[in-house]
Each structure stands twice: as structure tokens, then as C-alpha cells.
């Protein structure tokens, strides 16, 4: 009995020690929920109203200017009208126009998400469709300028020039996103030179805005990521939410397989799960200040990458105290919402908050939200 009490106190002591240096600055209980590609998905505001959710990357901008008649192309599932409701690009091949111009619910919902529910809406670029490509620094800078003009702060010159503002209200109400997300899953022909120029340009443009903008990235779990490694190394990202579910050897599943029924405070069995490789990689990069989220699937899949709520909870327990850990990213909203075990995002949020309250009790720390209004 006495030994048990001593051991417990010892474990709590270790736990406090490992969290101590880092808990005063940023929230660790964030949930990022991808939205835009769910079958028969609920509108964006439905998810923004949920207290389980903090930040929503909406996707995708899945066609880039070279493939889209000079403008990028967008796809937000059932939330935008398809062709012919697209802007005419400056090129001469109108069949390639894919920038959707009619997203009536999204136009209403983005400002509601931001002002009513204090959620951050991030425009996600890329995705798994094989429809985009960027090459060359000058094309990267031009693409960044376009995204800024179209989805950043409303610019009277841009509007007067007749250039697109897909999310502005019907009477010209300004609607701007809170940042841009790179989910590049196709090798670039120029070893990411175009993406590096593009992301650097976005960072420069962020400086001119009246509110904080976020640059986020969703690499695969292999370190360095083949399609985004050089980019993350060269340009300062604010958040990296790694997809720990597409690649078996470094997946979250590989950690669970190595650590079934893991009890927090006991020794972790080494696995291929690459969280710590990511922290090492980020330390030596321009993204050295980036926060790290563990990216998981919202519902069971054919490849068994999905973690049950008890599995994700045991993983969170072990990584929660890492200095970079800032939350969980979930792909994607509709699957998570319809999870037969109940909305996955709520279960994950509850566990993250449970960890916060554990540590608050132990240390009396105050969590400061990482997403200021």
C-alpha cells in the first residue's frame, strides 16, 4: 500500500516536471477539423457552433493557376455551385475555369464562424487530388498575391479591377479567411522552389494585415516529407498538423500496435510513430516555433489507421506534455460527426480538456488560447 502511494506520488512528480516549462504560453487542447470534402456534409456553421472545434481548414483549392486558365480552382463539396458558376480566368482556355463563384452558405457562414463562435477558418491548398502543380518562384509569388487579393483583406483596387472575391457577401461585405494551409501531396518539378516563394510571400503579406494570419501545413508522417519538407524547412509555419494516417511505418497506428493498453507514466515502447522526428526536424528549420498537432482520422477506415477514442486518449496522454504539442487535427468533419461511436471531435476535445484540468489541478496553470480573436 505504502509503496503504491509512493509510486503514484513519484509519477505525478515526474509528470509535473515534464510539463512545467511549457504550460504558461499556449493552449494544448486545440481541435482542428478539416471540412469541405464530406459526402452530404452539413454547412460550415454547423461545425463552427460546436465547442469541440477551434480551427477549421476548409478545402480545397485543388487547382493552381497553371492548370486553371490563370486562376486557381476550388472545390468545397456540396457547398458551392459547380460549372458554369466559375470566374473567367485571364487565359484563353475557358474550359479550364474552376474558381467557384457561387458559395451562398459559405459566404454567410465564414463571418458567423469568426465573429459569433471565435473559430479560425483556414483556406487549404492542395489535397489528395492529382489536379494541381506549381513550378518556379515567380509563379509562386504571383499565386500568393492572387490568394491574398481574392481571400485576404478586401482591397478596393483589386475589386475595382474586377478580380474575384469568392467569399465576399452579395452586397460587397468583406469576408477574409484567417490563414492558408499547405496540404501538398504531389511532388513539385522544382524541388519546392515555387512553394517556398509562395509561402514566403504570404508571410510578407500577413505583416500588412490588421489581424494575425496563420500559415499551417499538413505533411505526411515520413520525415522529411517528400513534397513539403524543403518548404517547412525554409519558411516559418505557425502550425504543422501531421497526417499520421497515410503511411504505415510512421502512423499513429504503429504506436498503438507497439503500445497496446498503454498506461500513462509507464515506459513507452519505441515504434515508428514519427512525432519526435518531427520535433527534431522543426528545431533545425525556419519553422522552429511551429506547434505540432497529431493528425488522425475521424472514423474507421479500410486500412485500420483510425484510432478508437480510448486509443487516441492514451496517445494524447503520452504526448500532451511535449513542448510543441498543441492539439489534434481530424480528417474530416463529416466522417467524425457521423462516427458510430458518437462525434469523434467531441470525444477528442473532452480528453484534451481532461488533461488540461488534470494539469491545472496539479500546477494551477492558466491556459491561454493559441487562437486570439
Interacting span for ligand NAG (CB under 6 A) from 33-41, 154-162, 252-260, 313-321: 154-162
Please select the residue that binds ligand NAG; options are 34, 71, 143, 158, rule is CB under 6 A: 158
Binding flags for ligand NAG, 161-180, as an x/- string (CB under 6 A):
x-------------------
- Complex with ligand NAG: residue 155 or 308, whichever CB lies closer: 155
Please select the residue that binds ligand NAG; options are 127, 149, 298, 327, rule is CB under 6 A: 149
Strand runs (DSSP E) across the chain, as ranges? Answer: 30-33, 55-63, 73-74, 120-127, 179-184, 214-217, 239-243, 291-297, 325-331
C-beta separation of 220 from 210 below 8 A: no
C-beta separation of 125 from 182 below 8 A: yes
CB of 158 to ligand NAG, least distance (A): 4
Does the active-site annotation cover 185? yes
Residues making up the chain, counted from first to last: 373
Instruction: Give the separation between CA 305 and CA 244, rounded to whole angstroms.
Output: 8
CB of 50 to ligand NAG, least distance (A): 34
β 73-74/55-63 pair status:
antiparallel
Q: Is 209 in the site for ligand NAG (CB under 6 A)?
A: no
Q: Is 67 in the site for ligand NAG (CB under 6 A)?
A: no
Q: Is 155 in the site for ligand NAG (CB under 6 A)?
A: yes
Instruction: Give the separation between CA 78 and CA 149, rounded to whole angstroms.
Output: 25
Instruction: Give the separation between CA 38 and CA 19, rounded to whole angstroms.
Output: 37
- Complex with ligand NAG: residue 2 or 92, whichever CB lies closer: 92
Please select the residue that binds ligand NAG; options are 157, 261, 267, 366, rule is CB under 6 A: 157
Interacting span for ligand NAG (CB under 6 A) from 19-27, 36-44, 155-163, 288-296: 155-163
DSSP letter assigned to residue 89: P
Q: In a 3-state reduction of DSSP, which class is residue 108?
A: helix
Q: How far is CA 231 from the centre of its chain?
A: 16
- Complex with ligand NAG: residue 9 or 209, whichever CB lies closer: 209
Provide the annotated active-site residues.
185
Q: Which residues bind ligand NAG (CB under 6 A)?
A: 92-93, 149, 155, 157-158, 161, 208
Amino acid at each position: 500500500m505504502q509503496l503504491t502511494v509512493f509510486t503514484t506520488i513519484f509519477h505525478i512528480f515526474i509528470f509535473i516536471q515534464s510539463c512545467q516549462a511549457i504550460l504558461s504560453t499556449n493552449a494544448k487542447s486545440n481541435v482542428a477539423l478539416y471540412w469541405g470534402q464530406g459526402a452530404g456534409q452539413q454547412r460550415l456553421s454547423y461545425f463552427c457552433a460546436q465547442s469541440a472545434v477551434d480551427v477549421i481548414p476548409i478545402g480545397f483549392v485543388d487547382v493552381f493557376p497553371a492548370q486553371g486558365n490563370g486562376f486557381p480552382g476550388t472545390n468545397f463539396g456540396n457547398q458551392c455551385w459547380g460549372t458554369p458558376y466559375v470566374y473567367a480566368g485571364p487565359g484563353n482556355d475557358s474550359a479550364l475555369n474552376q474558381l467557384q463563384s457561387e458559395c451562398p452558405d459559405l459566404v454567410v457562414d465564414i463571418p458567423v464562424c469568426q465573429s459569433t463562435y471565435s473559430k479560425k477558418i483556414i483556406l487549404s491548398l492542395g489535397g489528395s487530388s492529382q489536379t494541381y502543380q506549381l513550378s518556379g518562384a515567380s509563379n509562386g509569388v504571383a499565386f500568393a498575391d492572387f490568394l491574398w487579393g481574392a481571400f485576404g483583406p478586401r482591397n478596393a483596387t483589386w475589386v475595382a479591377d474586377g478580380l474575384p472575391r469568392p467569399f465576399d457577401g452579395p452586397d460587397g461585405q468583406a469576408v477574409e479567411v484567417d490563414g492558408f494551409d499547405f496540404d501538398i501531396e504531389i511532388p513539385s518539378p522544382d524541388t519546392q522552389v515555387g512553394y517556398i516563394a509562395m509561402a514566403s510571400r504570404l508571410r510578407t503579406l500577413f505583416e500588412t494585415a490588421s489581424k494575425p494570419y496563420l500559415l499551417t501545413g499538413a505533411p505526411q508522417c515520413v520525415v522529411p516529407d517528400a513534397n513539403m519538407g524543403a518548404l517547412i524547412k525554409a519558411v516559418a509555419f505557425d502550425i504543422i498538423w501531421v497526417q499520421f494516417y497515410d503511411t504505415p511505418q510512421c502512423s499513429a497506428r504503429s504506436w498503438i500496435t507497439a503500445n497496446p493498453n498503454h498506461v500513462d507514466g509507464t515506459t513507452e515502447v519505441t515504434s515508428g510513430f514519427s512525432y519526435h522526428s518531427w520535433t527534431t526536424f522543426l528545431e533545425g528549420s525556419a519553422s522552429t516555433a511551429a506547434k505540432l498537432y497529431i493528425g488522425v482520422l475521424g472514423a474507421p477506415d479500410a486500412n485500420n489507421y483510425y484510432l478508437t477514442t480510448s486509443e487516441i486518449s492514451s496517445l494524447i496522454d503520452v504526448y500532451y506534455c511535449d513542448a510543441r504539442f498543441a492539439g489534434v487535427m481530424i480528417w474530416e468533419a463529416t466522417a467524425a460527426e457521423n462516427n458510430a461511436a458518437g462525434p469523434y471531435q467531441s470525444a477528442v476535445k473532452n480528453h484534451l480538456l481532461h488533461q488540461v484540468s488534470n494539469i491545472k489541478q496539479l500546477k494551477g496553470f492558466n491556459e491561454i488560447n493559441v487562437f486570439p480573436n
